[in-house]
């Protein structure tokens, strides 16, 4: 068992080394727009989220406005379900609203948004197919680094619920999202695709979200009942609002690039000498992390 674990660890390390040792192609990387870079400060470290206005412009506009109004500062991750999501904002129930009366009173300033579960494929966004079948969508691939589903016949496209996806929570009605957000911290809950508005993904700091205090999924769907046990959102900012020298700078590998095409081929069979039974040369869209690098 130890040898197997060591071999798997070496496989992962080898994949990283291959990517790092590949010939540099600057044109295969794009810089993250600071106006789309959300920084969430937790007690464990900083989480960086890239927003995708091409998928849900109204939701992106809303979260930018909330951040600039300091709405989330001092609130908490009040619902954290192991293997599922970390949800942040005011919280649910009278205990949460009583603890944050100022934010609760301001909710009238943030009316419910019309759902943006999917969008037309007729825009400028380039869809790069993954290259194999999917269980939940007619076709999956990437749009500018974001995992996406597509129905070419219907002319529709949507962001997928992969690990790290950033989305807005809602009530039962489709058009009821206001301020509460969640981040997928476990396996991909693809049943949520096209049922909630997803409009971003974590590009750095997932390890800090994994440290958040968990709720009991059997009690109020994972809402942490003791407010004092909830991990605080120390503050949320847009990188664009920071002085230039304080902005973290990230680059994402272009998913329409030759480098990413090579990365996909490598991932289909990362360690040919290891396998006794060679797996089929297919990829899981949510198991294929798009490379991200932080610049000094």
Q: Average pLDDT over the chain, rounded to whole?
A: 90
pLDDT value, residue 98: 66
- Out of 22-26, 35-39, 60-64, 258-262, pick the least confident: 22-26
14-23, 42-51, 221-230, 277-286 — which one is most confidently predicted on average? 42-51
pTM of the predicted model, to two decimals? 0.89
pLDDT higher than threshold 60 for residue 217: yes
Give residue limits of the domains in the chain: 34-242+250-268+280-295
What is the percent of the chain where pLDDT is above 70? 88
pLDDT category at 192 given cuts 50, 70, 90 is very high
Q: pLDDT band at residue 126, thresholds of 50, 70 and 90?
A: confident
> What's the chain look like in SS3?
CHHHHHHHHHHHHHHHHHHHHCCCCHHHEEECCHHHEEEEECCCCEEEEEECCCCCHHHHHHHHHHHHCCCCCCCEEEEECCCCEEEEECCCCHHHHHHCHHHHHHHHHCCCECCCCCEECCCCCCEEECCCCCCCCCEEEEECCEEEEEECCCCEEEECCCCCEEEECCCCCCCCECCCEEEECCCCCHHHCCCCCEEEEEEECHHHHCCCCCCCCCCHHHECCCHHHCEECCEEEEHHHCCHHHCCEEEEECCCCHHHHHHHHHHHCCCCCCCCCCCCCCCCHHHCCCCEEEEC
pLDDT digits (tens, 9 = 90+) for 56-94: 999 999 999 999 999 999 999 999 999 999 999 998 654
**Residue of higher predicted confidence among 12 and 237:** 237
Indicate if the pLDDT at residue 21 is higher than 80.
no
- Homologous superfamily of 34-242+250-268+280-295: Cyclophilin-like (2.40.100.10)
**Local confidence band at 268 (pLDDT 50, 70, 90 cut-offs):** confident
Residue 14: pLDDT over 60: no
Read off the pLDDT of residues 133-158 as tens digits, 9 standing for 90 and up: 999 999 999 999 999 999 999 999 99
Predicted confidence at residue 122, as pLDDT, reads 78
């Amino acid at each position: 068992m130890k040898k197997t674990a060591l071999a798997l660890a070496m496989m992962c390390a080898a994949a990283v080394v291959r990517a790092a040792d590949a010939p540099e192609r600057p044109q295969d990387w794009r810089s993250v727009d600071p106006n789309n870079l959300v920084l969430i400060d937790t007690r464990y470290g900083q989480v960086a989220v890239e927003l995708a206005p091409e998928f849900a412009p109204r939701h992106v506009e809303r979260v930018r406005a909330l951040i600039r109004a300091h709405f989330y500062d001092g609130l908490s991750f009040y619902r954290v379900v192991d293997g599922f999501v970390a949800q942040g904002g005011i919280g649910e129930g009278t205990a949460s609203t009583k603890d944050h009366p100022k934010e609760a009173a301001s909710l009238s300033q943030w009316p419910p948004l019309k759902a943006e579960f999917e969008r037309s494929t007729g825009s400028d966004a380039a869809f790069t197919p993954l290259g194999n079948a999917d269980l939940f969508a007619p076709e999956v691939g990437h749009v500018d680094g974001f995992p996406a589903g597509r129905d070419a016949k219907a002319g529709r496209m949507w962001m997928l619920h992969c690990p790290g996806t950033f989305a807005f929570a809602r009530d039962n009605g489709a058009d009821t999202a206001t301020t509460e957000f969640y981040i997928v911290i476990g396996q991909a809950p693809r049943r949520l695709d096209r049922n909630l508005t997803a409009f971003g993904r974590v590009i750095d700091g997932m390890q800090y979200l994994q440290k958040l205090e968990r709720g009991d999924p059997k009690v109020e769907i994972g809402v942490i009942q003791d407010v004092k046990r909830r991990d605080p959102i120390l503050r949320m900012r847009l990188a664009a609002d920071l002085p230039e020298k304080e902005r973290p700078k990230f680059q994402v590998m272009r998913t329409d690039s030759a480098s990413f095409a090579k990365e996909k081929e490598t991932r289909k069979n990362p360690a040919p000498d290891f396998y006794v039974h060679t797996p089929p040369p297919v990829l899981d869209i949510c198991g294929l992390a798009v490379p991200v690098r932080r610049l000094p």
